[in-house]
């Protein structure tokens, strides 16, 4: 019989770290602070609204860009928070998580030979998408212990072939955020270019210590070239629902939707109904920063006397810990050993770098109940 030899379009891509570490953690019964997801419940009212929407019969396809009323609600929210108006008619799309929004944006705009600048470390879904469409990833290292944006590096990396720049604030995995000054510098550097800014803002409501999220929407020179992606999963503790959205000026959104209509057409209808009603009331995300700040502080206090060292993160629900006082092993080896020997799972940060990293950093997710954090911290104090 004729054998099929699959031709790989992504020969260098393996199964994601989240799947492999998750499986190893499960196999060893480890406390799982690796993949980013909350291990606590969802607001009962939101669950009730989903069930209500289903019972009311919203069980067929939603309109291609998402239900209009949810787009209107989001448009108002974004204008209130960031002062930029996106027209619900043609500047927004509800997506299957931010992952689909990011993938669709890349597939709509990146073609063979285009360069896409991706700050490193980077969340893992951008680069495979860029490569699938023939784009060239141009890595740009974030600098120093606070993972600061490298504007000199960006200046050098920008060429006539640059099609897109990816930014992610608050940033996974480092927990750093871009400041007002950073955004102003970005405006200056991009102003005379044709570069599209793909702004991953899924942790927009998880910012700490009185700091503010600086959305690309707030900066006119950025907003006019940006596709901004966000995720209901992070904001409402429902990562498994895979619901997100993106906004962009209509010329960009038109191209985005040309792809969106054929890779998914539309996304979960009853959940859109529920999210719309839920979002219309206040108190839905305003306290999220304080909620996770308390968890970050609790976790860091519990491990303060351990041999791990850290600089508290500014946003997201991830904390990087430096283990160089404990071991000289590469982070992948050390992370595996923590699972098998100590029953504690985290993510080795080198996987977020295109060319690896020698740093001795692990990423821990603190979107967990106090009990999980206590159990994790108790192990960490013994390492
Ligand atoms: N971007 C970043 C930086 C993330 O951490 C995540 C979380 N998985 C995503 C995008 C994807 O979001 P979603 O789960 O809504 O697809
Ligand atoms: N965003 C989550 C994290 O960084 C993981 C999502 C996934 O498993 N793809 O942990």
For the chain, the domain total comes to 2
Same domain, 66 and 82: yes
The tally of CA atoms less than 13 A away on the side-chain side of residue 332 is 10
How many other CB atoms are there within 10 angstroms of residue 149's CB atom?
21
Q: Give the β-pairing of 162-168 and 115-120.
A: parallel
For 71-113, the DSSP string reads HHHHHHHHHHHHS----TTTSEEEESHHHHHHHHHHHHH--TT
Radius of gyration of the chain (CA): 21
Same domain, 69 and 34: no
Domain endpoint, select from 260, 283, 306: 283
Predicted confidence at residue 1, as pLDDT, reads 74
Strands (E), 232-374: 244-247, 318-322, 344-345, 347-348, 361-365
Domain endpoint, select from 283, 307, 325: 283
Q: Which of 125, 207, 238 is the best mutation target for the ligand 1 pocket, counting ligand atoms within 8 Å of the beta carbon and taking the most?
A: 125
Helix (H) or strand (E) run with residue 49 in it? helix 44-55
Question: Distance, CA 241 to ligand 2 centroid (Å)?
Answer: 13
In a domain, 12, yes or no: no
Same domain, 314 and 273: no
Same domain, 378 and 296: yes
Length of the chain: 383
Does the Cβ of 106 fall within 6 Å of ligand 1? no
pLDDT, tens only, 210-229: 999 999 999 999 999 999 99
Same domain, 238 and 98: yes
Strands (E), the chain: 31-32, 92-95, 115-120, 136-141, 162-168, 196-200, 226-231, 244-247, 318-322, 344-345, 347-348, 361-365
pLDDT, tens only, 87-98: 999 999 999 999
Same domain, 307 and 178: no
Same domain, 100 and 160: yes
> Which atom of ligand 1 lies nearest, measured to the CA of 200?
1
In a domain, 186, yes or no: yes
Does the Cβ of 38 fall within 6 Å of ligand 2? no
Same domain, 80 and 153: yes
- pLDDT tens digit at each of 383 positions of the chain: 788 887 899 998 999 999 999 999 999 999 999 999 999 999 999 999 999 999 999 999 999 999 999 999 999 999 999 999 999 999 999 999 999 999 999 999 999 999 999 999 999 999 999 999 999 999 999 999 899 999 999 999 999 999 999 999 999 999 999 999 999 999 999 999 999 999 999 999 999 999 999 999 999 999 999 999 999 999 999 999 999 999 999 999 999 999 999 999 999 999 999 999 999 988 899 999 999 999 999 999 999 999 999 999 999 999 999 999 999 999 999 999 999 999 999 999 999 999 999 999 999 999 999 999 999 999 999 99
What six digits make up the tokens of 238? 């429902």
Q: Give the β-pairing of 136-141 and 361-365.
A: unpaired
Predicted confidence at residue 302, as pLDDT, reads 98
In a domain, 3, yes or no: no
What pTM, to 2 d.p., does this model score? 0.98
Question: Distance, CA 15 to ligand 2 centroid (Å)?
Answer: 13
Domain endpoint, select from 244, 261, 283: 283
What six digits make up the tokens of 53? 């929407």
Indicate which CATH number applies to the domain containing 291.
Answer: 3.90.1150.10
Cis previous bond, 121, omega within 30 = yes
Cis previous bond, 173, omega within 30 = yes
Scanning the structure block, which residue is given the tokens 């993938």? 103
Indicate which CATH number applies to the domain containing 186.
Answer: 3.40.640.10
Predicted confidence at residue 5, as pLDDT, reads 81
Does the Cβ of 128 fall within 6 Å of ligand 2? no
Which structural domain range is residue 84 located in? Answer: 60-283
In a domain, 157, yes or no: yes
Q: Could you give the CA distance from residue 17 to residue 219 in angstroms, rounded to a whole number?
A: 34
What six digits make up the tokens of 262? 């054929």
Predicted confidence at residue 6, as pLDDT, reads 79
């Amino acid at each position: 019989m004729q054998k099929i030899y699959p031709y790989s379009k992504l020969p260098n891509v393996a199964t994601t770290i989240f799947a492999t570490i998750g499986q190893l953690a499960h196999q060893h019964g480890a406390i799982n602070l690796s993949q980013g997801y909350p291990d606590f419940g969802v607001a009962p009212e939101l669950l009730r609204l989903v069930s209500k929407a289903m019972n009311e019969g919203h069980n067929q396809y939603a309109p291609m860009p998402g239900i209009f009323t949810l787009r209107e609600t989001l448009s108002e929210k974004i204008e209130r928070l960031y002062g930029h108006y996106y027209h619900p008619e043609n500047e927004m799309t509800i997506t299957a998580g931010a992952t689909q929004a990011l993938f669709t944006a890349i597939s709509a705009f990146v073609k063979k030979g285009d360069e896409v600048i991706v700050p490193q470390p980077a969340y893992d879904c951008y680069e495979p998408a860029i490569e699938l469409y023939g784009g060239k990833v141009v890595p740009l290292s974030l600098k120093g212990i606070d993972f600061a944006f490298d504007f000199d590096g960006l200046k050098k990396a920008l060429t006539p072939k640059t099609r897109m720049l990816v930014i992610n604030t608050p940033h996974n995995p480092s927990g750093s955020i871009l400041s007002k000054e950073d955004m102003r510098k970005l405006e200056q550097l991009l102003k005379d270019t044709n570069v599209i800014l793909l702004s991953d803002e899924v942790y927009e409501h998880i910012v700490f210590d009185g700091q503010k999220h600086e959305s690309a929407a707030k900066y006119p020179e950025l907003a006019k070239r940006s596709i901004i992606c966000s995720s209901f999963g992070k904001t409402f503790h429902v990562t498994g629902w895979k619901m997100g959205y993106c906004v962009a000026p209509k010329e960009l959104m038109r191209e985005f939707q040309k792809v969106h209509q054929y890779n998914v057409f539309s996304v979960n209808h009853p959940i859109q109904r529920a999210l719309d009603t839920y979002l219309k009331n206040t108190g839905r995300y305003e306290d999220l920063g304080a909620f996770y700040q308390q968890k970050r502080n609790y976790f860091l206090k519990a491990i303060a006397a351990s041999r791990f060292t850290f600089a508290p993160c500014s946003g997201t629900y991830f904390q990087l810990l430096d283990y160089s006082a404990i071991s000289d092993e590469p982070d992948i080896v050390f992370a595996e050993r923590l699972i098998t020997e100590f029953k504690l799972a985290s993510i080795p940060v080198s996987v977020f770098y295109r060319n690896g990293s020698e740093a001795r950093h692990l990423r821990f997710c603190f979107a967990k109940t106090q009990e999980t954090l206590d159990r994790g911290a108790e192990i960490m104090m013994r390492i």
